[in-house]
Chains A and B, each alone.
Chain A
Amino acid sequence: MSEKNYSSNDDESLVKAARKGELAAFEELVFRHRDPIYARAFSMTRNEQDAVDLSQEAWVKGWQRLEQFHGESSFTTWMTRICINLCLDHLRKQKRHRADSIEEMDEDGGGVERQMPVVTVNPTAGLERAELRKKIDGALDQLSAEHRTVLVLHEFEDMEYKEIAQTVGCSIGTVMSRLFYARRKMAALLADMRKEL
């Protein structure tokens, strides 16, 4: 491996060097962006080891596909999309090994989320940022993978309905329905957490 120090280079020049085979340049990119990529994998899988493995796999894929990166988006965004696709594949494999949950059956029937009472008071009002993050994290844990995925892609990745449908491989109607359910469930969970205080 080259001993050249790339710490002062910008992402663009690091990508160029990595394309030429400079592994040290790619290592610098990994070092800079590994946390957000890992965070995305964790928000989707909710499992620390799976998130580490999937984010590492994403980096290997990133190295192999560097020629396809043309800078239309930032390098982190590009890498995050690779990671999201790997996470979706991982979740699909997991789903094949388990029965569909009651929640999903209810969603398909369009029932549960419509019957939940509306949370009239904002359950997150006045919370410190760190506390709010903790609560959001705890509530995300309680959603099914399908609902969490749509919520994460919409709220954290800022994707539109159409883009989520293409990424996940479902209809826009399903995206809307899952997002609606996920939001309503989150509101209910956050309200419950507030009551526990």
Chain B
Amino acid sequence: MNLEQQLKLQAFLDGELPECEAREILAWTQRDSAAASLLAELRNTRAAMVKSEPHLSVPESREFFWSKIEREIQRLEPQAASTPKVSIFTALRHWLLPASAVVTIIIAGMIVHFEFPNNATKTVVENVADADTTTVETTLASTDATTYRDASEGTTLVWFSSADDSPAQNKKSAIN
């Protein structure tokens, strides 16, 4: 019996042969005692193996065995291991609030910028009803405009200064 025939015999046992070839091998084993003996040996060994896989248990406690796995998982992906993964919607909600706050601030800044440009800062001088009142008020924090009103003198003094102006460049404007 050559190696090819022996391997065919084994393939027959394992159900790996097409039906026509399997029939040929079966016929061969019925007329050849050596083939029949080898087939019987292979069959016995296979049967012994299939029903006898040793049952083994991990030789460590549950906690100890798990601790190494857990450490390795946390080392590889600390974020995912420490906090549960969040859905896309939760993540969006998480980022949407700060993002909308930033956008609101930017829009507010743009409105202030276009409504009150630095080089066109104006302070409206109100009519002062009470002639005896002296008022000092500061408007438009970004332009540092300070108004001084003296009703008794009938004088309003507006002091402009901007952040990029040097003290020498501060301008005074008096309106009578």
- A: residues with CB less than 8 A from B are 1-2, 19-23, 26-27, 30-31, 34-35, 38-39, 42-43, 48, 52, 55-57, 59-60, 63-64, 110, 114, 118-120, 122-125, 129, 132-134, 136-137, 151, 154-156, 160-161, 176-177, 179-180, 183-184, 186-187, 190
In the assembled complex, the CB of A16 is this many whole angstroms from the nearest CB of chain B, namely 12
A60-B73, A119-B41, A176-B7 known; A133-B58 Cβ under 8 A: no
Q: Which residues of chain B are within 8 angstroms of A48 by Cβ–Cβ distance?
A: 59
Whether the pair B66, A30 counts as a contact (CB closer than 8 A) is yes
Whether the pair A34, B53 counts as a contact (CB closer than 8 A) is no
In the assembled complex, the CB of A158 is this many whole angstroms from the nearest CB of chain B, namely 8
B18 contacts chain A at the CB level, 8 A cutoff: no
A20-B84, A38-B57, A52-B58 known; A177-B7 Cβ under 8 A: yes
Whether the pair A31, B57 counts as a contact (CB closer than 8 A) is no
Q: Which residues of chain B are within 8 angstroms of A120 by Cβ–Cβ distance?
A: 37, 40-41
Whether the pair B52, A136 counts as a contact (CB closer than 8 A) is yes
Given contacts A21-B81, A21-B85, A187-B45, 13 further A-B contacts (CB under 8 A): A21-B80, A22-B84, A27-B70, A35-B56, A39-B53, A63-B69, A110-B3, A120-B41, A132-B48, A132-B52, A180-B6, A180-B10, A184-B42
A-B complex: 9 closest residue pairs judged by Cβ atoms: A21-B85, A155-B49, A39-B56, A124-B48, A21-B84, A122-B44, A38-B58, A136-B52, A118-B37
Distance A180 CA – B84 CA, assembled complex (angstroms):
50
A38-B57, A156-B53, A186-B49 known; A124-B10 Cβ under 8 A: no
The count of residues in chain B whose C-beta lies closer than 8 Å to any C-beta of chain A is 45
In the assembled complex, the CB of A140 is this many whole angstroms from the nearest CB of chain B, namely 8
- Name the CB-closest residue of B to A137: B54
A183-B45, A186-B49 known; A23-B7 Cβ under 8 A: no
20 A–B pairs (Cβ distance < 8 Å), ordered by A: A1-B70, A21-B85, A35-B58, A39-B55, A48-B59, A52-B65, A56-B72, A60-B72, A64-B76, A118-B34, A119-B44, A124-B47, A132-B52, A136-B53, A155-B46, A156-B50, A183-B46, A187-B41, A190-B45, A190-B48
